[in-house]
Structure 1
């Protein structure tokens, strides 16, 4: 058994080192892509100005070419009136202006193609930066599991078969959590930051045109976007590890978490009865995650109009209930290999508790949590 433990610890350490190196590589890719994005964006702005100037010069040459052809037509029809030198000059001038016009239009075409190429490259880099940011978040989740949760759980498991089975479930859970965090980062901060970048460019162009009132209006809009982005980042950080849990305890943290969900769901009601003493850290972390997961399921999947959260803490046990009036589901057909259900069952099992989920289609869902307090 000791050999199994040593082998598993060695594997975990190797995975941690590999993931850390991957995180550094992803960060470097992200930074290089961001710098390349800035360079191309600057080049694109300069190129757009050249395109505008070339179009204007081409239009002027087109007018001159029309005038030269008109003069040449007049001279050709009345060649007996004009001298040979005058006719030659009219022909040469018409040919030169026409040639200059064709060259200018070719330059315009080449500049347009280069502009389109840069715009496509810019979009590609934006997507690359977004993917890199998503990967950074997922890598952080992996490191957290490997360096903390996985090591702690490994110490609790008693034999190799349990370790193998649990390891497979953790890997499945990790993949689902990575996808979840990636979606949150892509749909939240990444999109907001991209929008802020575009809006800031609008502010710059507006200010250069001298329209300060419009520029100030856009600046207010940009500040609003920055505040929203900061709020979204804080929410994601809070989901990963709420600092209030260590400082204030379980009940204040649940209250604060429900407050952060105001925009997602404004009809969440929390009731509690509790002794004055704090619970051990492992109980508070587990209970918060269980209640958090239950609330998120009710918001995202149940389409509930009302969510009730009840918590009772005594010196013997903890009772929790999360009840929603959503669409419900058929327990017989529900897949039990999702991250939420695996994580909830594993946390409950580690603490020797009981998890019961009651749900019927069209009648909402009730999640019952019972955890004994071992002193």
Structure 2
């Protein structure tokens, strides 16, 4: 009888492992689909707006072109009243309007096709998200029964609300970060690439007409735009995961970060280090970098500061991080109490990262007296770099 129970237990454990792996894969698929849905929705809204503008432009150009044709016919018939210069000007205006109308009609056709494609993709991805969420929920229910004692189901239900609230805060914080990344991609590289596609098509038509000088100028301009877009993509990649963090270490990466922060925000920034830098595990350095990044983000968004200082002190068994600004300041107790049940995800994210690294964080602030955040992270120098 015991060996049968052992076999059953082994089968259940194997099933749980398989389902846990499947749940993770479904979660990854669902998250990827959500990201794609958000990006597609943003792009669709942009395309819809651009399509409306282009349609209005085409309508206006058609009206102007009809008037120009009428004017050209009028001056061409009356040689007594109109001079050769008038005829020439009317002809050139009609020709230019015809060319502009052709270009904008091409843009209109392209945007309409893109709009229809995006609408179809949004519907398909939305259905995929719904299916993935449904399957994930079903797997979670089965896992609760397989991995837990059935007598604990009541207690699980009672604690579900609290866990759901914590989960919602984490999800909302993640969604805010995804929105920020999506905005950066949409406002930067995506816009540049869409513009490059349109202008490449225009250059191709000009090439067919053998207007080589215009095409040459257009290609030079496109090269500059491609380089600019590439630089924006590199900045986004750096923000997601600075490669210098693994290659050079935390201090050089932070030097680059504070320099970029000062250039972007125009907030005067100072960075000092005390002691000899110790290379830590990749996860620990990444956690510290994100904490400092979040602290600087809070200064930029909320403090209205003109100065921010970062100080890192390396000790034998501790790294001390101090971020100080001369901004508006706040009542610490009031803000921290609100952060537990509102949208102050910056403080939540920083505290969670500090706790994951088994450290502690202290906040000192007062109205109109700036803010000082001190973080102590314990380290084990014997571990070295992982």
Please classify the TM superposition score into its range, dividing by the shorter chain length: 0.5 to 0.7
**Aligned pair in 2 of structure 1 residues 31, 357: CA closer, same or farther (>3 Å)?**
closer
Among 16, 32, 38, the residue aligned to 2:28: 16
1:246 to 2:258 alignment: no
Please name the residue that 1:170 is paired with: 170
Please name the residue that 2:270 is paired with: 269
Q: 3-state DSSP class of the match of 1:234?
A: helix
Structure 2: distance between partners of 1:243 and 1:195: 30
Say whether the 8 Å CA contact 1:302–1:328 is kept in structure 2. yes
Among 328, 335, 360, the residue aligned to 2:366: 360
Within-5 A mapping of 1:193-342: 193-194=193-194, 212=213, 222-265=222-265, 267-331=268-332, 332-333=334-335, 335-336=338-339, 337-342=343-348
Say whether the 8 Å CA contact 1:275–1:315 is kept in structure 2. no
**Aligned residue-pair number:** 302
Among 363, 370, 374, the residue aligned to 2:376: 370
Q: CA deviation at 1:355?
A: 1.4
* Unmatched runs of 5 consecutive residues or more in structure 2: 1-11, 48-54, 80-96, 130-154
**Aligned pair in 2 of structure 1 residues 364, 187: CA closer, same or farther (>3 Å)?**
farther
Q: 3-state DSSP class of the match of 1:264?
A: helix
Q: CA deviation at 1:191?
A: 3.9
Structure 2: distance between partners of 1:366 and 1:28: 41
Structure 1: distance between partners of 2:265 and 2:288: 21
For residues 174-231 of structure 1, the C-alpha deviation after alignment (integer angstroms, 9 at most, x for no partner) is 122122222322333334445556776888899979695x887776655444433322
* Unmatched runs of 5 consecutive residues or more in structure 1: 36-42, 68-107, 140-158
**Aligned pair in 2 of structure 1 residues 173, 49: CA closer, same or farther (>3 Å)?**
closer
Within-5 A mapping of 1:1-40: 10-20=22-32
**Aligned pair in 2 of structure 1 residues 272, 118: CA closer, same or farther (>3 Å)?**
closer
For residues 138-186 of structure 1, the C-alpha deviation after alignment (integer angstroms, 9 at most, x for no partner) is x9xxxxxxxxxxxxxxxxxxx9769766533321221221222223223
Say whether the 8 Å CA contact 1:317–1:372 is kept in structure 2. yes
300-309 vs 49-58, which deviates more? 49-58
Between Structure 1 and Structure 2, whose CA radius of gyration is higher? 1
Structure 1: distance between partners of 2:203 and 2:244: 38
Q: CA deviation at 1:32?
A: 11
Q: CA deviation at 1:354?
A: 0.7
Please name the residue that 1:345 is paired with: 351
Structure 1: distance between partners of 2:287 and 2:300: 20
Say whether the 8 Å CA contact 1:309–1:323 is kept in structure 2. yes
TM-score, reference length from structure 2? 0.58
CA RMSD of aligned residues (A): 5.4
For residues 64-121 of structure 1, the C-alpha deviation after alignment (integer angstroms, 9 at most, x for no partner) is 9999xxxxxxxxxxxxxxxxxxxxxxxxxxxxxxxxxxxxxxxx9xxx8xx7897498
Q: CA deviation at 1:274?
A: 3.9
Q: 3-state DSSP class of the match of 2:239?
A: helix
Q: 3-state DSSP class of the match of 2:270?
A: strand
Structure 1: distance between partners of 2:295 and 2:211: 53
Please name the residue that 2:83 is paired with: none
Q: 3-state DSSP class of the match of 1:345?
A: helix
For residues 7-31 of structure 1, the C-alpha deviation after alignment (integer angstroms, 9 at most, x for no partner) is 7655333222334466678899999
Q: 3-state DSSP class of the match of 2:263?
A: coil
